[in-house]
Chains A and B, each alone.
Chain A
Amino acid sequence: MPIVATASLIARPPSPGGRGGDGRGGQGVRFYGTVISPLSATLIGQVSRSVVESLAAPSLFYGFAIKLADAWLPPGDVTGPLEIDESLDTPATLFTFTLTGRQYSIHATAATWTATPVEIWVTAGPIGALRTYRRAFGHVITCEQTEGPEPTLRLRCGDPSRRFDRYELCYEFPADAGLTRGAIARQILTDAGFTADVPTGAAYTKPLATDSQKLFPFLQSFCEAEAWSWRLPDWTTVEAYKAILREPPEPPDDIWTLRDVLSIQSTPPSDVPSIWVIRSTQTTEAPEGLKITKQRAETFAFYAIRRATAKQLGDGTHQPLNLPPSAETFQLVAVLETEIHERQGLTVAKITREYGWYNPRAAKLRTLGVTDPPGPIDGYFWAEAYLDEEGSARTWRQESFVQTGERREIPTYDEEGTEIARRLETHKWHSRAMGVRNVGSATPNVIGAGIGDDDLSWYPFDPPTTALLRLEGFGLAQLDQITLKYGENGAVASEVQETSTWYSQRTAVVGVPWFLNASGAGQKDLVANFHLVQRKTTTNTLTEDGLLAGTIETTQGFVAPRRVEGAFDWGDQKSNLEQETWGTTGLKTTLYNVLDESTYEEITDDGTGAQTRLVMGRSPRPRYRASPWTRLVQTPFEIVLEDATTAAWWGPSTEILNLDYLQSPEEARAVAQRRRSRQLAITHTVIRPISPIRPGQTIHLIDPRTGLNHRCLVTRLQERWVLAPRPQILATYTLEQPL
């Protein structure tokens, strides 16, 4: 059959042939020809179909031999059928056969149930033109043994890809690394010990982390956009090939009519989704300038605003307010606003604001001044305050809808975009401790301190022009400054968190020149100042490859150690110190022992003895230095394909696919079309004598009885070789005929 084709030629040595074989090896159609003009790259050749047609003779001879652990098995020991299963959708070729003999018992040898090399060599053809070739090869997976005088073992085997079923990948490729899908696949396969025969494919611009995925499932999903299928032509080579239906004018790989097949069973497509939704992300350059994203969440609920029931007057009496009771109404109860500021893909600020119903605390008692005589209540005077249903002293007659919190996160980056520091401001309603008298004074002698419901004295925020003292103010209540230091391997080596808040060091209550709170506790400042109160230093213990082996957490703050016979009386304790001093308050070590991929052991010791616990999940990982490619951002995209035909045929149905390795809507569209095309195909199950046709090839299938006359893609092949009591060697092909 003369043809003209444009082709790329790949030279392959023929397989060596087996026992009694002709040594020619190889399968399928043979091409002979010459390139006439190298410039036009046109090959005019002659196709020999002798191999194909040799398996269509009326009388054919078959046989197979098995080599297990480099030794040929005696034919008499191979008693059962040989079955081979290969598919377009998996690189794995599975095959099974049966052995009988005491020497194959699992008690006598490990060769029948461990990964022993095994090869299947078959002989087939008409007499005088028999061909012997290696049909399958790989390793034993396992076996099922039936006991008896002579044990019978059904051995299940798989090609070399099966040995990598448990092989986990650990790769990270940055975005825009200049690699194609083929180059990435080649690198991964080469590292696994394979020779990769993989086309180039499209440039992959997204960052890629394999994240403990298995080798071949990863390759299949990663390269789905290229429409590659995978197979192993020999022990070490992994080949990616495009399995697509060959359209005219290209000839099909073979034409099957009723004279070639025993039966054809056809199944129409069914329940094909009418809407395909494919989601993924694509890499885009981060926009210049400041990008501010705001989100606001409002919560509505049945809520009764709390109102005061009485007002405490300056003489201590309670004056009923006779306000109408608040009813529960469906109203706004909370607002959460989030504001994210981004510049070139980096978050430069994140602000969260909370609003809600609130009424700040007020003083129940107060101090008047140095010259005033002591008040009637333990030296204090009554303050004015509104009393709510629970009797708590409040500032306002009823709750107001006010801001209740604000948190500002402001990271600092180095030139490469790595976060090196972070400032966290917490604004909320807060109080500041205030003394009521000097140490040694018998009565309160400080002007304008308020005593709250908690019997502690606090600073009044409003000027003390009235007798109503507000003990809470909205503003900066806490400041956390985090500084990160990175090691050579890019992981965070240490993290220092410094916390500042309104605080006054505690002191002794006798013989010191400072102040006493209404509770009787000593405090160094009359009013608490805003200053550093805690420093937490976390030092990471890192492995060589930058993983977290453990942490050492040191906490510093103000502390005064207790002493039973201490020189200074603190009221509730004794100490040798007259005031709190800055020192180490805690030391905690943590160790992580990874037990398996989903469990780790955490050993913590805070000075009270080590405690161990098992934790499900992955052990914590340190923060890593960012790469320049973090300036690239991934934008989610979604494509939707609607199919009115399938909706009309089977009703509406949606298939949603999250395919992480697609990098553009065009790729997603192509993948969706391919998946749809395969689902929307008539499936033919053809039983016929074996042939050289393999999954991925194109068959023109003709059945005049049913009007079938179409090209089909071979997607699966199952061969069954039965030699006894009479030979029956048949292949079951699954063919897909696109509509």
Chain B
Amino acid sequence: MNTTGASTPPTLDGLHLIGASADSWEVIETEIVGTIRLANGATREQRLAPLPGHPVIRRWYGVTLDYRHLGPLGEEIEARLAFPGPHDLTLWKHITLGYIADGTRNEWLLPWRQAPDHLTPPAGAPVTRFAPTVRLGWGTTPIEATFAPNRFHLDIAPPSGTRLIVQVVPLFQMVTASEDHARHYRDAIREPRRIALVETEVL
């Protein structure tokens, strides 16, 4: 995967967050899963049944960008956050999704739009670095696949039970997290800002 670490600054509502580096990115993945502990000590997990064509596991993302000083980004960031969501946010990082083939289906749905389809990567980064990939099974090389907004398809339906591993760079749709933010002004120059956004779904 070409997008390990936090090598590329995020993009918020079309604004590449370049010029001031966040002190930390915190990405929280929420997985809707319940667990029950059986009488023998074993634990079973219970998940929501996916709709046909959807990924087996759908995680929901929350992103917190903590800036000690917004610097030149301050005005534009505040201008964007002066409005309610949804805010488009991409971290320019791949997220991995899993699908199970049923032997007949050759098109599947993606839970997000893909960032490269809508944005130019910041700082001259090559688009190819953020391209989506599809692999059939673990330890295999990517295969040819056609991606469209919110979906992808293969020319031939894989055999039933085949695991499809898909990596995409999502363009999240976010709203502000429901938490209070304290700004600690340590001097007369720096403008601290903590941006906390959580994923929403636009129907």
Contacts and interface: CB of A to CB of B under 8 A. Distances in A.
Same assembly: yes
Interface of A: 20, 57-63, 123-124, 127-128, 130, 257-264, 689, 703, 723-730
Contacts of A723: 48
Contacts of B36: 262, 689, 728, 730
B49 A123 contact: yes
A726 B44 contact: no
B48 A61 contact: yes
28 contacts: A20-B52, A58-B42, A58-B44, A58-B45, A60-B45, A60-B46, A61-B47, A61-B49, A61-B50, A62-B46, A62-B47, A128-B102, A128-B161, A258-B38, A258-B39, A259-B38, A259-B40, A261-B38, A262-B37, A262-B39, A689-B46, A703-B39, A725-B32, A726-B33, A727-B32, A727-B33, A728-B36, A729-B46
A127 B33 contact: no
Contacts of B46: 60-62, 689, 726-729
Nearest to A132: B49
B143 to A, nearest CB: 20
A257 B38 CA distance: 10
Nearest to A725: B32
B100 interface: yes
Given A60-B46, A727-B48, 17 more contacts: A58-B45, A59-B45, A62-B46, A124-B49, A130-B49, A259-B38, A259-B42, A261-B38, A262-B37, A262-B38, A264-B39, A724-B32, A726-B46, A727-B47, A728-B34, A728-B46, A730-B36
A255 to B, nearest CB: 14
A130 B43 CA distance: 20
B56 interface: yes
Contacts of A258: 38-40
Nearest to B45: A59
B51 interface: yes
Nearest to A703: B39
Contacts of A128: 100, 102, 160-161
| Most-contacted residue by chain A among B32, B34, B37, B42 (CB, 10 A) | B34
B185 to A, nearest CB: 37
Contacts, number: 74
B34 A727 contact: yes
Nearest to B43: A58
Interface residues of B, number: 24
Contacts of B39: 258-259, 261-264, 703
Nearest to B57: A127
Interface in B118-169: 160-161
Contacts of B161: 128
B100 to A, nearest CB: 5
A259 B42 CA distance: 7
| Most-contacted residue by chain A among B43, B46, B52 (CB, 10 A) | B46
Given A59-B44, A62-B46, A260 B38 contact: yes
Nearest to A688: B38
A60 B44 contact: yes
B118 to A, nearest CB: 27
A130 B40 CA distance: 26
B161 to A, nearest CB: 6
Contacts of A729: 46
B136 to A, nearest CB: 15
Binding site secondary structure of chain A: loop
Nearest to A729: B46
Contacts of B45: 58-60
Nearest to A124: B49
Given A61-B49, A264-B39, A728-B36, A127 B44 contact: no
A729 B48 CA distance: 10
Contacts of B37: 262
B100 A20 contact: no
Contacts of A260: 38
Give the 4 A-B residue pairs with the shortest CB-CB distance, closest first.
A63-B49, A726-B34, A258-B40, A258-B39
A723 B34 CA distance: 9
Nearest to A60: B46
A257 B40 contact: yes
A62 B49 contact: yes
A257 B41 CA distance: 12
Contacts of A59: 44-45, 47
Contacts of B42: 58, 259
A282 B42 CA distance: 58
A20 B51 contact: yes
Contacts of B47: 59-62, 727
A260 B36 CA distance: 11
Nearest to A726: B34
B35 to A, nearest CB: 8
A127 B100 contact: yes
Contacts of A726: 32-34, 46
B54 to A, nearest CB: 10
Contacts of B102: 128
Interface in B1-56: 32-34, 36-40, 42-52, 56
Contacts of A61: 46-50
Nearest to B51: A20
| Most-contacted residue by chain A among B42, B45, B160 (CB, 10 A) | B45
Contacts of A123: 49
Contacts of A58: 42-45
A728 B161 CA distance: 26
Nearest to B42: A259
Nearest to A128: B100
Contacts of B33: 726-727
A595 B42 CA distance: 64
Nearest to A261: B39
Interface in B47-104: 47-52, 56, 100, 102
Contacts of B40: 257-259
Contacts of B48: 61-63, 723, 727
Nearest to A64: B49
Interface string B175-186: 000000000000
Contacts of A262: 36-39
A703 B42 CA distance: 15
B146 to A, nearest CB: 24
A585 to B, nearest CB: 86
| Most-contacted residue by chain A among B33, B37, B43, B47 (CB, 10 A) | B47
A128 B38 CA distance: 24
A724 to B, nearest CB: 8
Contacts of A62: 46-49
A723 B50 CA distance: 13
A264 B33 CA distance: 24
Nearest to B47: A61
A668 B40 CA distance: 44
Contacts of B44: 57-60, 689
A257 B39 CA distance: 9
A60 B75 CA distance: 48
A256 to B, nearest CB: 10
B55 to A, nearest CB: 10
A128 B42 CA distance: 23
B29 to A, nearest CB: 14
A259 B41 CA distance: 8
A263 B39 CA distance: 6
B71 to A, nearest CB: 38
A260 B38 CA distance: 7
A78 to B, nearest CB: 13
Contacts of A703: 39
| Most-contacted residue by chain A among B39, B48, B52, B160 (CB, 10 A) | B39
Contacts of B32: 724-727
A57 B100 CA distance: 17
Contacts of A730: 36
B168 to A, nearest CB: 20
A732 to B, nearest CB: 13
